């Protein structure tokens, strides 16, 4: 219990905490008065105030965080110098402050990936344990003991790579899948994922195909032999995960994969604890991927997110005047309601996934 709590707190600090610290440091650099930095939402569990007057808070609901800056559009504070207000800063400075959170996550992810590849990462090769009769995998010719070495012309050295390629390929037909079989040489089969229903709560990508993974297979180790090799491996991981995240958005928006496939807060915390118990490198790999995901999500052009605020700043630059306070508040409240509904939906999916009857 203590170990699980420590893993969750460490994850929040390394991902959400660093994101908010990025905003705060950029604001401090440009001389913007910082009113509050909060890790989480709702009632404060821990709170302290610095000599500068900034309040640091650890709040009850660990679903994100925020940095509250002094702003004449929403503040009644009159004792501050005009240059200390966020909205009185040049637009380029505001954009830097808004981008700083995602940038901090990107730096965290890059450093974590570098560390992982320098220390080495143990992973389980994608060897099939069993194949359900009359399943999609069985019809494609996949058998127990097969190792999936490639999917849709992309190498799949681990189960996580197989999962990523399945998400990118779902909804397509005649997808080439390369397998290594003990009794034969490398074979290329074809799998049909068109019009295949997917339930992210009652199953996952593999169970939908009728595949059970061989988790007890001897692990392999991925390790860079030099700093430059680790750099190139990190660059490759960045490219693959960025493509993966945008493919998820595309697949979700098109309805190809269901919303239930996404993890909610409980799912993320469970993954955090699971990766932490598997060792330092696995946990750092998880932190790297989660940091990238947080950076991408926060830059979506939606009210309430950094991307939405960036859009407001760009509109102000073009129109030579800011969006009205009334409109901004309305959009923010609507976005907040939608975000709450999304979080509740994800939470319910998590509860069904982990505690629902099979």
Residues 202 and 186 in one domain: yes
Domain-located, residue 82 = yes
Which of 164, 189, 222 represents a domain boundary (last residue)? 222
244-249: Cβ within 8 A, 24+ apart: 244/164, 244/167, 244/168, 245/292, 245/293, 245/296, 246/296, 247/167, 247/168, 248/167
Encode 52-78: b = buried (16+ Cβ within 10 Å), e = exposed.
eebebbbbeebbbbbbbbbeeeebeee
Alpha helices in the chain (DSSP H): 2-12, 18-29, 91-119, 136-140, 159-169, 205-209, 227-254, 265-277, 280-298, 306-319, 325-355
Task: Note the pLDDT of residue 162.
Answer: 93
Domain-located, residue 259 = no
Residue (of 113, 183, 135, 126) closest to 158 by Cα position: 126
Domain-located, residue 270 = no
DSSP structure class, residue 161: H
Residues 108 and 148 in one domain: no
| pLDDT tens figures, 250-265 | 998 888 888 888 888 8
Task: Note the pLDDT of residue 357.
Answer: 52
- Is the model's pLDDT at 108 over the cut of 60? yes
| pLDDT tens figures, 301-321 | 999 899 999 999 999 999 989
Residues 68 and 106 in one domain: yes
**Sheet bearing 186-191, strands edge to edge:** 154-155, 147-151, 175-180, 186-191
Question: Which is more confidently placed, 59 or 260?
Answer: 59
Per-residue pLDDT, averaged over 128-135, amounts to 92
Residues 128 and 89 in one domain: no
Residues 86 and 8 in one domain: yes
The two structure tokens encoding residue 9:
């707190």
Strand partners, 122: 221
Domain-located, residue 10 = yes
Domain-located, residue 52 = yes
- Domain count of the fold of the chain: 2
- Is the model's pLDDT at 78 over the cut of 70? no
Domain-located, residue 243 = no
Which of 166, 190, 222 represents a domain boundary (last residue)? 222
- Is the model's pLDDT at 142 over the cut of 60? yes
Cα→Cα distances 72→51, 86, 89, 233, 237, Å? 22, 8, 11, 46, 42
Least confident of 61-65, 73-77, 100-104, 294-298: 73-77
Domain-located, residue 88 = yes
Per-residue pLDDT, averaged over 29-39, amounts to 93
Mean pLDDT, all residues of the chain: 90
Residues 128 and 109 in one domain: no
Residues 10 and 88 in one domain: yes
Residues 322 and 347 in one domain: yes
For the entire predicted model, the pTM comes to 0.90
Residues 171 and 105 in one domain: no
Cα→Cα distances 27→32, 53, 84, 119, 219, Å? 5, 14, 9, 35, 46
Which of 206, 222, 238 represents a domain boundary (last residue)? 222
Residues 91 and 131 in one domain: no
Residues 35 and 66 in one domain: yes
The region that residue 198 occupies, defined by phi over 0 for left and psi between -120 and 50 for alpha, beta otherwise, is beta
Percentage of residues in the chain having pLDDT higher than 70: 96
Domain-located, residue 242 = no
CATH at 168: 2.30.42.10
| pLDDT tens figures, 189-221 | 999 888 888 776 666 788 889 999 988 878 889
Domain that holds residue 200: 121-222
HSE, side-chain direction, 13 A CA sphere, residue 15? 29
Per-residue pLDDT, averaged over 114-141, amounts to 93
Residues 63 and 125 in one domain: no
CA dihedral 157, 125, 198, 282 (to 10 degrees): -90
């Amino acid at each position: 219990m203590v170990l699980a709590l420590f893993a969750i707190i460490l994850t929040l600090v390394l991902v959400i905490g660093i994101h908010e610290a990025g905003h705060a440091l950029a604001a401090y650099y440009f001389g913007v008065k910082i009113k509050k930095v909060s890790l989480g939402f709702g009632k404060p569990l821990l709170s302290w105030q610095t000599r500068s007057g900034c309040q640091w808070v650890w709040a009850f609901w660990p679903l994100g965080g925020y940095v509250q800056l002094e702003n004449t559009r929403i503040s009644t504070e009159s004792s501050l110098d005009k240059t200390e207000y966020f909205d009185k800063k040049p637009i380029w400075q505001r954009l830097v402050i808004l981008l700083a959170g995602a940038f901090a996550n990107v730096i965290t992810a890059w450093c974590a990936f570098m560390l992982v590849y320098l220390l080495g990462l143990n992973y389980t090769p994608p060897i099939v344990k069993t194949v359900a009769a009359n399943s999609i995998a069985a019809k494609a010719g996949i058998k127990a003991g097969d190792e999936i070495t490639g999917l849709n012309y992309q190498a799949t050295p681990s189960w996580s790579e197989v999962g990523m390629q399945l998400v990118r390929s779902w909804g397509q037909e005649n997808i080439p899948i390369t397998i290594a079989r003990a009794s034969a040489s490398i074979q290329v089969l074809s799998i049909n994922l068109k019009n295949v229903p997917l339930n992210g709560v009652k199953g996952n990508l593999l169970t939908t195909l009728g595949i059970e993974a061989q988790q007890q297979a001897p692990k392999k180790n991925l390790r860079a032999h030099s700093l430059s090799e680790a750099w190139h491996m990190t660059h490759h991981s960045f490219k693959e995960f960025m493509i993966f995240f945008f493919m998820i958005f595309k697949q979700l928006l098109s309805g190809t994969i269901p919303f239930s496939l996404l993890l909610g807060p409980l799912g993320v915390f469970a993954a955090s604890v699971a990766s932490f118990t598997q060792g330092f490198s696995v946990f750092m790999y998880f932190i790297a991927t989660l940091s990238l995901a947080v950076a991408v999500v926060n830059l979506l052009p939606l009210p309430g997110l950094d991307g939405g605020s960036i859009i407001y700043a760009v509109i102000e630059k073009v129109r030579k005047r800011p969006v009205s306070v009334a409109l901004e508040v309305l959009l923010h409240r609507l976005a907040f309601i939608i975000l709450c509904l999304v979080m509740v939906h994800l939470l319910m999916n998590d509860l069904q996934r982990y505690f629902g009857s099979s």
